[in-house]
Structures are given as C-alpha cells and as structure tokens.
Structure 1
Amino acid sequence: MIAPYQKQMDSSLPLVLRPAATLVIFRQTSVQNPPELLMVERSEAMRFAAGATVFPGGKVDPQDVELAQSLTDEDPTDTAARIAAIRETLEETGLGLGFTRNLHYDEAVAARAILQSGGTMGDVLSRIGLALNLEALTPFARWRRESVGGFDTRFYLANIGTGAVDLAVDATENSRLFWASAGECLNGAASGALKIILPTLLNLERLAQFADFAQARADAQAHPIAPISARRMMRDGEEWLTIPEGLGYPITTIPFSAARRG
C-alpha cells in the first residue's frame, strides 16, 4: 500500500522545514541477484509515517551541526546531514557506516548505546576512537515535505559490499528491519504487504533500475540534486501527483488515488 505523502499547506502559517537525512544502504550477496537495500518498518506509534517502510534516517540534531562546523569552514549543511544519516543508521539498526575503518561488533554495540543514552556522534568518535569518512556517502536526492512541521530530507547512498552483518531493531521508533531488493519492496507495496510513502516509492522505482551499487552511484553523480516536492495537478479530470523531470526518476507522475491507497 502507498501512504499519502503531502497534505495541502496552510499558507497562513510560516513554512519552516526541519532538516533530515536518510541513508540508502546496499549489499549484494551475488552478482546474479539484484542488490538488496536495508529497510526499516516504523512503529505504529510514530507521529510521522507510522507503520511505513522507509530507509534508515531521521532529523538533523543541533549537535550534528556543531560537529559539522568543527569539520568544515564552508557551509556545514551537507556535512551535518551526512553525520545525521550515519548517526541515525547506527542508532536505529546497529550498523556502523561512514567511518574510516570497520567497527568490530562490540564497538558497534558500544557506539549505539552511547547514542541511545543521549550521547552525540562527537561522543561516539572520542569514546570509541573513531573518525568519520563522509565521502563514503554519495548524495542521491533531496525531498521536501512542504507543510508546517515538514521535513527537508537529503538522501545518500552507501554500500557494505557482500556478506551478513549484525542488525537489531531499536524497538522504539521501529518495529522491524529487513533486507530486500527494490523490486521486492515495490511488489510488497502493490500487494498491500508494505506501507510505503511517496518519496520512498519513487526512490525505489529509481533504484530498481540498477544491477549493483556502482550503477546507482554513477546515476546519482550524473543527475543534479535539486529539492523535490510532490505537486498536485489535474489531468483529464483526475488528480495526479507530479515531481520535476530530469532528476533521474523513471516515474514522475502518479495518480493521487494511488498515493492514497491504504
């Protein structure tokens, strides 16, 4: 099922979008099989996208911005989003990506515990003895939910290669973790087995085109990263949602009725 994405904006209220970041994580167990993506099923108790299947991620915290400012003399916005994507993935799934070395299992557990007890990514770096490798993340897309309290979310790609990794759901914001190909997720949405919001749906349609991470990364680098907000339009008496052309998406329009299923 596809969850509705955007409500009509109240123009009488100021529009302040909260920065957020998401990490699309690839693994490929065999060259004969399509790459798998790490998916997170959100708790039904969550305020936003309750019960939806999404990529790991969340809002950019002030501490992410502070750390980013200490790492760059330029605009820290992108750096802070990369830090948030790494931090949220570690906190939500237990998977440590975006560091200059691989984390041992015990280190990943300890780093996650620091974050879940209220610590920051800076605390993780100093206590575990780590450094960030922000270039391990490839910018992929940027989606905006233009409503009061909406999000401005940057999507990044990352790759863990092959093999199994230890994961554990946080059991607070999320209820399930699983690996699946983009095609499998799309089939799950079509059958009603998965609840998927519009940005995730169209990102999955785009990701389903690629046979491996290298193709996805090349496609991301070949297209501009511009803010995307789904817009309503009328066509032949039917309401549709549309996004801009030229940003790498094979599907840029979808019936509004389809986006409201479930």
Structure 2
Amino acid sequence: MSDPASQKPIPAATLVIFRDAPDAPELLMVERAKAMTFAGGAMVFPGGRIDPEDHALADLHPAVPDAAARIAAIRETVEEAGLAIGLVPRPAPDTLADLRRKLHEGVGFARALHEAELTLDLAQLTPFARWLPAHRHMRIFDTLFFLARAPHGEATVDHTENVRLTWTTARALLDEADAGRATIIYPTRRNLERLALFSTFDAAVAHACAHPIRPVTPFVELRGEIEHLCIPDDLGYPITSEPMTGALRG
C-alpha cells in the first residue's frame, strides 16, 4: 500500500464570499457532513476539487492566472450554495436552479453554461491565499482561496456533502469554535483570524493584493516545551502558531 504522504496533493479551490452587514462583513460557511472523510462535521468555505473540465474551460481564459481554480470555485459554489458568482449575465433564479440541477446530475460545466447562455467573468474573484499542507497519513489538498462579493439571491444548502450553511462574521465563528459549538480545522481558523481584520470587502481585497500568494505549508516547531503548528509570519496572518494539542488538521 502506498504511503499517503507520497501521494500527490489534490488541486482544489475555495471561495470566501462576503456580504455587507451592520457591524462586520458576513461570510458564507457550510457545514460538512460528519461522514465525509475530509473535515467531516467542520465549518468550511464553499469549494472542492479542480476537475479536468475546469482546465479545459480555462483554455478559453489564457490571460487569467489560475483560471482553472477560479472556474472550480465558481462551479462548486453553484453546486453547494446555489449562488451565481462570476456568471454573466446574472442568471434568473429559474436559470440558476436549472444550472445547479444539471451539475448535480453530472452534466459538464461547459455544456451547462452553454445551454444556459452564460459565460464566465473570472475577474470577479480575487486571489487570497494558497494552502498546501504536508502532514502524513491524511489526504492533502493544494487549495487556492479566492475572495468574492455575494450576489443577489438566497444561498441554499445542497444536502449532499454539506448539511447546512450560515452567514456569520469571522469573529463570531471563531468564538463559536472556542466555545465548543462549532468545529473548524487549522487552515480555516488561520484564515478566519485574518478575515476578522477587515471591516469591508474592499479592505480584504487591498490586503490580499498587498501580500504574496505562495503555498502556506504548516510546520511543527518546539516553543518552550510545547510543540506548535506554525505558518510563515510574512503572509498577512495575525496569528501564526497554535499548540499541537489544540490543532485540528482535517
């Protein structure tokens, strides 16, 4: 049997979706079904694997960096939350529902877009981070994170990989996790701490553009007598370590 640590990371993409709220921006989070192998029961951002067809569609956008990842993030958000981000023109509710149904039935994204007379505007997504863990004996994802504004329309859970969704501020979800009422894995916690810095979507975009996007690979370091799971300190994250005893890696 092959060692999981020797397997290639799985390319993936996820979308951090902002909507305006009185005190701080709210983010869309979905709760993974407990039976899922990766991050079962955890609150995560919408997202998933980058499929071969995402790469095929990316060929139509040769000037856009990480086009396949952006396409995957858009597609997964339609599937998981029923939100139309990066779709042009903005689809009517029935058109969006039909697009989502086709994706759930296995129709290819390119075909579903063509039948709905929709195209992609990948510039609606702003690169935010890339996480590439290197731990052993666990499935590893090489995940690109993007920021986007919430479109008009109501988000609805797909009840397949995910069991519920919610809009919440980054700080509120961190508090829920600290109180034991929500589960978040290490990358989600670090990203929520970073997202909690911003009072507006534009501030988050400016911060993202001001910091390099390179793989964040957590590493273990002994600090005093306690092992910590750490990340580099120059990528815009306000907290860069956590004792290993409390770190949930997925």
**Alpha-carbon distance in structure 2 between the residues aligned to 1:202 and 1:68:** 29
Aligned to 1:46: 36
Aligned to 1:106: 94
Q: Residue 145 of structure 1: which of 133, 136, 142 is its match?
A: 133
TM-fit CA distance, 1:173: 0.2
3-state SS, counterpart of residue 82 of structure 1: helix
The AA in structure 1 aligned to 2:53 is Q
TM-fit CA distance, 1:259: 1.0
Aligned to 1:37: 27
Aligned to 2:52: 62
- Bigger RCO of structures 1 and 2 (CA < 8 A, at least 6 apart): 1
Q: Give aligned-pair identity as a percent.
A: 48
TM-fit CA distance, 1:258: 1.8
**Alpha-carbon distance in structure 1 between the residues aligned to 2:172 and 2:89:** 31
TM-score (norm 1): 0.89
Aligned to 2:165: 177
Unaligned runs of 5+ in 2: none
Q: Residue 224 of structure 1: which of 203, 212, 228 is its match?
A: 212
1:28 pairs with 2:16: no
**Alpha-carbon distance in structure 2 between the residues aligned to 1:192 and 1:25:** 24
TM-fit CA distance, 1:81: 0.3
The AA in structure 1 aligned to 2:198 is F
Do the aligned residues in 2 keep the contact of 1:232 with 1:239 (CA within 8 Å)? Answer: yes
The AA in structure 2 aligned to 1:22 is T
**Alpha-carbon distance in structure 1 between the residues aligned to 2:217 and 2:235:** 12
Mapping of 1:166-245 within 5 angstroms?
A: 166-245=154-233
1:122 pairs with 2:110: yes
Cα 1:18–1:259 shift into 2, 3 Å: same
Do the aligned residues in 2 keep the contact of 1:242 with 1:253 (CA within 8 Å)? Answer: yes
Q: How many residues align?
A: 246
3-state SS, counterpart of residue 120 of structure 2: coil
Q: After the TM superposition, which of the residue ranges 165-174 and 132-141 deviates more from structure 2?
A: 165-174
The AA in structure 2 aligned to 1:78 is D
Do the aligned residues in 1 keep the contact of 2:186 with 2:248 (CA within 8 Å)? Answer: no
Do the aligned residues in 2 keep the contact of 1:114 with 1:123 (CA within 8 Å)? Answer: no
**Alpha-carbon distance in structure 2 between the residues aligned to 1:192 and 1:107:** 40
The AA in structure 1 aligned to 2:108 is T
**Alpha-carbon distance in structure 2 between the residues aligned to 1:149 and 1:35:** 32
Q: Residue 61 of structure 2: which of 71, 74, 78 is its match?
A: 71
Do the aligned residues in 1 keep the contact of 2:38 with 2:139 (CA within 8 Å)? Answer: no
TM-fit CA distance, 1:70: 3.3
Q: Calculate the aligned-residue CA RMSD, in Å.
A: 1.9
TM-fit CA distance, 1:150: 1.0
Do the aligned residues in 2 keep the contact of 1:65 with 1:77 (CA within 8 Å)? Answer: no
